[in-house]
């Protein structure tokens, strides 16, 4: 079974500060390569931060100056990069994730579908799901709330399309009073991630940012890391709790072959006593 070493790039994301955020992301990419990682996953909308008002007027097209930076850094460091950016597409904005290969080419783009109500003024709903075959395995993308329990159809569809690995740039938020000795998400994220991974034989990597939210509808809340890598057997890796500074966490994954496809998936689920109403 092939193995893959990946990096969880939990960076501090400051609202309306793309240059500073990108500087931190670049350092993470370089560090990930030094630690022999083949792929780094970065958080959601790391340009302006999630729902920051500055994104409404300053978002860039993809391809464009922001995505070009990450393409160049992927190529320079011979590493795959997954990153979340705000995308200007014609006269609308999208919350978008990119997968860039080690040659600096964007090989997969996805825009968030399960937008929260507070996101409606900032982003349009995405309209496509996709996977891509790479030397690392078949990979799919989604973003943050796409993995809510009521939205697991997203990851299930990617897994049914053969995704061995689902990468999910995220921006998980908690109230300001949450402390390190508390469960910051109270099973909000692990349960649906494990449900999909267990029944659909895939691995989900969800990487979130850190820092206090300044500007936008969630101002005053914070992001505390604790990114998750979840597989069929349960939790594989968790990032550190840190509300002030970024951390790079690495993990080696065994990428299993997808044995079932089409109706075989449903038949396999029946044998597992899968609840089709979940």
pLDDT reported for residue 259: 85
Query: Which residues fall within 8 angstroms of residue 145, CB to CB, at 6 or more apart?
Result: 112, 114, 115, 116, 151
Residues present in the chain in total: 278
The residue among 185 and 166 whose pLDDT is bigger is 166
Per-residue pLDDT of 18-72, as tens digits, reads 999 999 999 999 999 999 999 999 999 999 999 999 999 999 999 999 999 999 9
pLDDT, tens only, 91-150: 999 999 999 999 999 999 999 999 999 999 999 999 999 999 999 999 999 999 999 999
Residue for token pair 């065994």: 254
Distance CA 102, CA 74 (A): 5
How distant, in Å, are the alpha carbons of 18, 64, 118, 263 from that of 69? Answer: 12, 9, 29, 42
Whole-prediction pTM: 0.97
Q: What DSSP assignment string belongs to 28-82? A: HHHHHHHTT-SEEE--SSTTT-TT-TTHHHH-B-SSSHHHHHHHHHHHHHT-EEE
Q: Could you tell me which of 74, 123, 124, 122 has the C-alpha nearest to residue 98?
A: 74
What is the Cβ-side half-sphere exposure of residue 203, based on CA atoms within 13 angstroms? 22
Pick from 164, 128, 133, 162: nearest CA to 143? 128
Six token digits for residue 154: 């997203």
Report DSSP state, residue 244. Answer: S
- Please give the helix or strand (H or E) that residue 190 lies within, else none: helix 190-200
CA dist., res. 50 & res. 130, Å (int): 23
Q: Tell me: the pLDDT tens digits for 89-108?
A: 999 999 999 999 999 999 99
Cα–Cα distance measured from residue 221 to residue 26, given in angstroms and rounded to the nearest whole number: 26
pLDDT at 273 over 70: yes
Give the pLDDT score at 187. 84
Residue 185: its pLDDT value, please?
85
**Hey, which CATH number is domain 3-271, 3.60.110.10, 3.10.20.600, 3.50.50.60, 3.40.47.10?**
3.60.110.10
- Angle of CA points 128, 131, 132, to nearest 5°: 130
* pLDDT score, position 278: 58
Per-residue pLDDT, 25:
98
């Amino acid at each position: 079974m092939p193995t893959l070493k990946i990096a969880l790039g939990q960076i501090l994301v400051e609202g309306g500060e793309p240059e500073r955020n990108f500087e931190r992301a670049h350092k993470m990419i370089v560090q990930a390569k030094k630690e022999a990682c083949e792929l780094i996953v970065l958080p959601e909308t790391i340009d302006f931060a999630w729902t920051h008002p500055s994104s409404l007027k300053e978002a860039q097209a993809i391809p464009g100056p922001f995505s070009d930076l990450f393409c160049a850094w992927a190529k320079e460091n011979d590493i795959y990069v997954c990153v979340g950016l705000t995308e200007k597409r014609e006269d609308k904005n999208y919350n978008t994730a990119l997968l860039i290969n080690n040659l600096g080419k964007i090989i997969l783009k996805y825009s968030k579908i399960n937008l929260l109500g507070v996101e409606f003024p900032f982003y349009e709903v995405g309209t496509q799901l996709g996977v891509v075959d790479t030397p690392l395995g078949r990979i799919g993308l989604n973003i943050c709330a796409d993995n809510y329990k009521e939205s697991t159809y997203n990851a299930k569809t990617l897994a049914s399309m053969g995704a061995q690995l689902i990468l999910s740039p995220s921006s998980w938020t908690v109230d300001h009073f949450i402390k390190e000795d508390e469960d910051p998400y109270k099973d909000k994220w692990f349960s649906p991630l494990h449900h999909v991974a267990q029944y659909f034989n895939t691995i989900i990597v969800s990487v979130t940012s850190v820092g206090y939210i300044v500007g936008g509808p969630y101002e005053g809340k914070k992001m505390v890391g604790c990114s998750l890598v979840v597989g069929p057997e349960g939790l594989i890796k968790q990032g550190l709790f840190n509300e002030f500074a970024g951390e790079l966490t690495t993990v080696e994954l065994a990428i299993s072959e997808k044995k079932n496809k089409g109706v075989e998936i449903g038949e396999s689920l029946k044998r597992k006593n899968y609840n089709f109403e979940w």
